Chains A and B, each alone.
Chain A
Amino acid sequence: MNKSNGKGGLSRRGFLASAAAATTALSAPAVLAEGRPRVVVVGGGAGGATAARYIAKDSDDAVDVTLVEPSRAYYTCFFSNLYIGGFREWASLGHSYGALAANHGINVVHDWAVSVDRDKRSVGLAGGGSLAYDRLVLSPGIDFRDGSVPGWDLSQQNRMPHAYKAGSQTQLLRAQIEAMPQGGTYCMVAPPNPFRCPPGPYERISMVAHVLKQSNPTAKILIADPKEKFSKQGLFEDGWQRHYPGMIERVGPDFGGGNVEVRPEAMEVVIDGEATKVDVCNVIPAQQAGRIAALAGITDESGWAPIVPHTMESRADANIHVLGDAALQGDMPKSGFSANSQAKVCAMAVRGALTGSTVFPPRFSNTCWSLIGTDDGVKVGASYEATDEKIAKIDGFISQTGESAELRKATYEESLGWYAAITGDLFG
């Protein structure tokens, strides 16, 4: 309310204050007068592709959208474990950006974003040149933290693959598993929280066990894990016992699983001072937001980028939005589903800011499906709302142990339907 002079009219001070507020309110749409507002989206995964597509599609060409993504074909990290388990063909995980350009008029630039000038509002590209923006959407996914697993760095990723960004790493890991000697050992060094796809390492263990049970039944699977607990633990452990009895050993912090070093040259894993020779070593290091988020100066000491839940705007810069794995947002797990859900909230907020379109209160949702064995699917999920502090969980659901084979099969088939739907939503 403006302050009144007590005679029913506005005081001089009150009038000035309200005039200043009106000017501020008008300044955003004034961008329109300078031409189409420009949105640059960095990262063409579940967050970035969704944001680019929804901003372009729903603004009816009123917004100029550029998507910066180095890969010409995008291989989804979600479902890549199923490729390792032999349930998916590699080609089925690949998607092109052709339809985003052809059907929605998005400028798709295959390059690396290497800098952000927040004052000039422009993004620098590795190939030279820069892209000016009115709003920037960063959806860069994850990078690994240097030094989190002593003995491992990116230069060792061919001897000890992470396979935690889908692509040649995934194919390499599967080839190494297939080449294991009879009775050999596959070891996973699991990551500390928080990390991309909380059930992902354990679904991968299930898929590796599925392959080895058929081709190499005396092989061993060893997990060195710094965490006390993990996602869907009861469901996975029940499934491992039913499908792969005696094959999988998880060494948690109670037996030194948090004190791990690797020796890539010797193919050894040292757990709590004791060296074990292994045949495959899948090191999934500790994680942080994709590098461009730190280069833009919007990450905090956690390594992730804090956001305003209502709009997915960075808390450090209202002209930048952060989506998906890179965002420090609250209760949502880092998943493709979450990124897709957050991107729709972001797209609505960006259109509202740039074109004046209606912005509704956000609702978020997520489901993570995991495959434990053939037709044995489980899921965990929840819905979320925006509070001032964080994206907060409202209610959730999780599969139960002892469910019928029919229900587990239906859950797996539901995940196949979801994959078709979300990839259509991203790239269609």
Chain B
Amino acid sequence: MAEPTPRVKLPKSVEAGVPFTVKTRITHPMHTGERHDSDGELVPRRIINRFVVSYGGEVAIAVDLEPAVSADPYIQFEMAVPESGLLEFQWVDDDGSVYSLQKHVDVD
């Protein structure tokens, strides 16, 4: 399969201490392990099982995902930061791969 592509959308700028919306998505088939392919073969489970966002090296949000989550998991949340800094996003695959992305938050 194609390499999963992570994507993050942040506001262009934010205010210190004021919550803003973070939208994230990664392309991933999220095979549940329960489905069969067109030849009748069971497709082995392969999902994104964990999603972690760190700010300045500290975990801001961590999510455990289960097989019932749809393909291309989309996760949106709100957060606030005291000053400009680096957000790091990580998606952990069942096969051990970790897909990551970094985004700078600019505080006005």
- A-side residues, CB < 8 A to B, are 183, 217-220, 222, 241, 245-249, 251, 254-256, 272
Contact = CB atoms under 8 A, between A and B. Distances in A.
B31 interface: yes
Contacts of B25: 255
Given A245-B1, A246-B29, 15 more contacts: A183-B3, A217-B1, A218-B1, A219-B2, A245-B71, A246-B2, A246-B4, A246-B27, A246-B28, A251-B7, A255-B7, A255-B9, A255-B23, A255-B25, A272-B9
Contacts of B9: 254-256, 272
Given A241-B71, A255-B9, A256-B9, A246 B1 contact: yes
B3 A220 contact: yes
Contacts of B28: 246
Given A241-B29, A246-B29, A255-B23, A218 B7 contact: no
Contacts of A241: 29, 71
Interface string B4-18: 110101000000000
Contact of A218 (B3, B5, B71, B72): B3
Contact of B72 (A183, A249, A256, A272): A249
A253 to B, nearest CB: 10
Contacts of B72: 249
27 contacts: A183-B2, A183-B3, A217-B1, A218-B1, A218-B2, A220-B3, A220-B5, A222-B5, A241-B29, A245-B1, A245-B29, A245-B71, A246-B1, A246-B2, A246-B4, A246-B27, A246-B29, A246-B71, A247-B1, A247-B2, A249-B7, A249-B27, A254-B9, A254-B23, A255-B23, A255-B25, A272-B9
Contacts of A248: 27
Interface of B: 1-5, 7, 9, 23, 25, 27-29, 31, 71-72
Nearest to B31: A245
A230 to B, nearest CB: 16
A246 B2 CA distance: 6
Contacts of A217: 1
A183 B1 CA distance: 9
A361 B84 CA distance: 67
A249 B71 CA distance: 11
A251 B4 CA distance: 14
Contact of A249 (B1, B5, B23, B31): B5
A245 B72 CA distance: 10
Contacts of A220: 2-3, 5
A238 to B, nearest CB: 10
Of B3, B7, B9, B23, the most chain A CB neighbours within 10 A belong to B7
B100 to A, nearest CB: 15
Contacts of A247: 1-2
Contacts of B1: 217-218, 245-247
Contacts of B7: 249, 251, 255
A125 B72 CA distance: 53
A239 to B, nearest CB: 12
A219 B5 CA distance: 12
A369 to B, nearest CB: 22
A217 B1 CA distance: 6
Contacts of B23: 254-255
B95 to A, nearest CB: 12
Contacts of B31: 245
A83 to B, nearest CB: 24
A248 B72 CA distance: 10
Nearest to A218: B2
B30 to A, nearest CB: 8
Contacts of A219: 2
A217 B72 CA distance: 18
A215 to B, nearest CB: 14
A256 B5 CA distance: 15
A219 B1 CA distance: 8
Nearest to B71: A241
Contacts of B27: 246, 248-249
Nearest to A276: B5
Nearest to B2: A220
Of B2, B4, B5, B23, the most chain A CB neighbours within 10 A belong to B2
Q: Which 3 A-B pairs have the closest CB atoms?
A: A245-B29, A246-B29, A246-B1
B12 to A, nearest CB: 9
Contacts of A249: 5, 7, 27, 72
A127 B30 CA distance: 59
A272 to B, nearest CB: 7
A251 B25 CA distance: 10
B47 to A, nearest CB: 11
A279 B5 CA distance: 16
A219 B27 CA distance: 13
